[in-house]
Amino acid sequence: MKKFKNGVSIFYLAIIFLFLYAPILVLIGLSFNNSMSRTVWGGFTFQWYASMTQNDSIIDALGTTLRISIFSSILATILGTAAAVGICAMKKRNAQIMLGATNIPLLNADIVTGISMMLLITRFTHLGEASVMVSHIVFSVPYVIFNVMPRMQQMNASCYEAALDLGASPVYAFYKVVWPELIPGVLSGFLMALTMSLDDFTITYFTKGAGVNTLSTMLYTELRKGIQPELYALSTVLFLLAFGMLFLMNVKKEPNQNRKEAKA
Amino acid sequence: MNNKRQAYLAAPYGLWIIVCTIIPLLFILGYAVTNDAGKLTFDNLLAIADPVNLKCLMLSFKTSIITTVICLLLSYPVALILNSANIKNKSFVVFLFILPMWMNFMLRILAWQIILSNNGLLNSLLSALHIPTQHILYTEKAVILGMVYDFLPYMLLPIYNALSRINNDVIEAAKDLGANNLQVFTRVILPLTKSGVISGIIMVFVPALSSFVVSNVLGGGKVMLIGNVIEQEFTLARDWNTGSGLSIILMIFVLLAMGITQKQDNAGEGGTLI
């Protein structure tokens, strides 16, 4: 009976994984397809991998995507970490107001956030690349704050006070006592901000200026006239990079905190 | 700790919230209650009563509810299986569920277009197996499938987190006291994972309600959701006032849906979703 139950479990997981990975396998397949058509298999080729670095519009969109994601997630991390440290020192009522406001971009529909930022920005200046960066910070700061806050709250305040009593300056005490405790939260907040920013379409779509294209918005405009096959190749490379990175991180973490990780 | 000075660290963020979160929402509200001449009007909000828009809103509710239910039914067993002791490397399996999100969202949806199209992969497979081919692409079914695909991890992770927090002793105690497996599930496991289920429902239902990309790509313009209506007001019709009015209506429905869902969570584990 137990064996049967196990078999059913594994079969069910396999079906779900097939559902999750089928589109990805299709895309990886297309990146090797020697045909411009999406539905016809024209033989195996590496030519899209070779030509993707020569395709200016794609390299341009990749550059824009990376610039926006990296800048916005770094700034969001700085802003959010400072905010989390500050909010923890606030009176309960003020802290609740701040956290309530922090929830707004998380709970609001993306389309509403995007439109509201567009309305604000077009009133005072014009849309461009900077407007996308600012809007990305708006939706990524909450992820940083909600990753750093628990770390702050779990920390024993006496350690910091002890450092001060022993003659450390507040900045030195923060750097030596508080900061090392915060790092994991800051890092996971940064990674979440980066992921959300890289994958965002809706907010970018509403806040980008003419001529600014990230990979997502470029793909959207190409959906009707046909996707350049180099984009499949590029996405496959990016996916494999992410896979490698996450895989390494996962393997490294495995031995000591398997159980803890599942809870986080 | 010098609390006052430390609290000032949040000052830039306080300013940020006001400028980039509160004021933009006031801008939407401002556009929503005025016409293009700047006069006060409620026409933009009442535009939702227009039968065409109302139909789109109803369709949005229908697809989001179906999507949420399917996500819940698919992911709860997955979370249970992952949480059971049979699988050794759990965090790796969880990682495999998040990994697809690293392929560009637009491409993943596009891949479904390729799979579902009339002479696409699915139908080739079906005809090879001598099963009648299906016409799925550009119907509501395709849109729901795309949304389920896109939002499944958002349902799975909170449920899995809630499950993994349950202390095994509680389950053993229930069994010692004579509960059978079904009773353990309905009386112990289900109530203890309620908050996870509720976060999952919110995290799937809210984006599903306002989505416009999935319905655009997999619905091919034939499935109009409220998100598509708002998008077209801004990009095609260039009627920012009506678009803002409908956005405010959408916001109200999102808040209502969230309020109702969260009210069920009387255990009150706190407000954050992550």
Per mean pLDDT, which range of A91-105, A204-218, B87-101, B140-154 is the poorest? B87-101
Burial of A230 (0-12, 13-18, 19+ CB in 10 A): buried
Instruction: Please determine, for residue A83, whether its predicted confidence score (pLDDT) is greater than 60.
Output: yes
Let me know the angle formed at the C-alpha of B35 by B29 and B37, rounded to the nearest 5 degrees: 125
Is there a domain that residue A61 lies in? yes
Mean pLDDT of chain A: 88
pLDDT band at B264 (very low <50, low <70, confident <90, very high): confident
Higher pLDDT, B85 or A109: A109
pLDDT at A253: 62
pLDDT at B269: 46
Is there a domain that residue A256 lies in? no
Q: Where are the alpha helices (DSSP H) in B33-120?
A: 43-46, 51-83, 90-98, 105-116
State the DSSP H helix or E strand holding residue A236, giving kind and residue range, or none if neither.
helix A229-263
B60 in Cβ contact with A111 (< 8 Å)? no
Is there a domain that residue B70 lies in? yes
Residue of B2, B5, B16 for testing the chain A interface, max A β-carbons within 10 Å: B16
CA distance A10 to A42: 35
From chain B, the residues in CB contact with A157 under 8 A are: 1
Single out the residue of A87, A78, A97 nearest to residue A149, CA to CA.
A87
pLDDT at A59: 93
Instruction: Please determine, for residue A41, whether its predicted confidence score (pLDDT) is greater than 60.
Output: yes
Q: Please count the structural domains in chain B.
A: 1
pLDDT at B88: 65
Do the Cβ atoms of B6 and A88 come within 8 Å?
yes
pLDDT at A254: 53
CATH of the domain at A137: 1.10.3720.10
DSSP SS3 for B94: helix
Is there a domain that residue A145 lies in? yes
Per mean pLDDT, which range of A219-233, B16-30, B138-152 is the poorest? A219-233
Is there a domain that residue B204 lies in? yes
Is there a domain that residue B26 lies in? no
Mean pLDDT of the region A10-19: 92
pLDDT band at B51 (very low <50, low <70, confident <90, very high): very high
Is there a domain that residue A9 lies in? no
CA distance A34 to A75: 42
Instruction: Please determine, for residue B124, whether its predicted confidence score (pLDDT) is greater than 70.
Output: yes
pLDDT at A263: 38
CA distance A248 to B190: 35
* Cα dihedral A191/A192/A193/A198 (nearest 10): 90
B193 and A CB contact within 8 Å: no
pLDDT band at B85 (very low <50, low <70, confident <90, very high): low
Q: Please name the member of A6, A138, A201 whose beta carbon is closest to the beta carbon of B86.
A: A6
Is there a domain that residue B4 lies in? no
pLDDT band at A116 (very low <50, low <70, confident <90, very high): very high
Do the Cβ atoms of B3 and A38 come within 8 Å?
no
B214 in Cβ contact with B5 (< 8 Å)? no
pLDDT at A258: 43
Phi, psi for residue A38 in degrees, rounded to 5 = -80, -20
What is the extent of the structural domain holding B163? 51-267
CATH of the domain at B176: 1.10.3720.10
What is the extent of the structural domain holding A82? 57-227
Is there a domain that residue B222 lies in? yes
Instruction: Please determine, for residue A256, whether its predicted confidence score (pLDDT) is greater than 50.
Output: no
Do the Cβ atoms of B273 and A106 come within 8 Å?
yes
pLDDT at B87: 62
CA distance B27 to B36: 14
Burial of B146 (0-12, 13-18, 19+ CB in 10 A): buried
pLDDT band at A130 (very low <50, low <70, confident <90, very high): very high
Is there a domain that residue A160 lies in? yes
Single out the residue of A145, A149, A146, A142 nearest to residue A181, CA to CA.
A149
Q: Please name the member of B14, B74, B111 whose beta carbon is closest to the beta carbon of A27.
A: B111
Residues B101-119 pLDDT 10s: 888 888 899 899 889 988 8
B141 in Cβ contact with B57 (< 8 Å)? no
Q: Which two tokens stand for residue A247?
A: 């895989």
Cβ-proximal residues to A205 (8 Å cutoff; 6+ apart), any chain: A114, A216, A217, A220
Instruction: Please determine, for residue A117, whether its predicted confidence score (pLDDT) is greater than 80.
Output: yes
Is there a domain that residue B147 lies in? yes
Q: Please count the structural domains in chain A.
A: 1
CA distance A207 to A212: 10
Count, residues in chain A: 264
Q: Which two tokens stand for residue A82?
A: 């400072």
Instruction: Please determine, for residue B271, whether its predicted confidence score (pLDDT) is greater than 60.
Output: no
pLDDT band at B274 (very low <50, low <70, confident <90, very high): very low
Is there a domain that residue A19 lies in? no
Higher pLDDT, A106 or B71: B71
Do the Cβ atoms of A116 and B27 come within 8 Å?
yes
Per mean pLDDT, which range of A2-11, A116-125, B172-181, B247-256 is the poorest? A2-11
Is there a domain that residue A217 lies in? yes
Do the Cβ atoms of A116 and B240 come within 8 Å?
no
DSSP SS3 for A128: strand
CA distance B241 to B220: 26
Is there a domain that residue B55 lies in? yes
Is there a domain that residue B3 lies in? no
Per mean pLDDT, which range of B16-20, B122-126, B201-205 is the poorest? B122-126
Do the Cβ atoms of B102 and A39 come within 8 Å?
no
Mean pLDDT of the region A164-193: 90
Q: Which two tokens stand for residue A134?
A: 């600012």
Mean pLDDT of chain B: 88
Per mean pLDDT, which range of A113-117, B88-92, B115-119, B175-179 is the poorest? B88-92
DSSP SS3 for B273: coil
B78 and A CB contact within 8 Å: yes
Per mean pLDDT, which range of A57-71, A156-170, B52-66, B255-269 is the poorest? B255-269
**pTM passes above 0.80:** yes
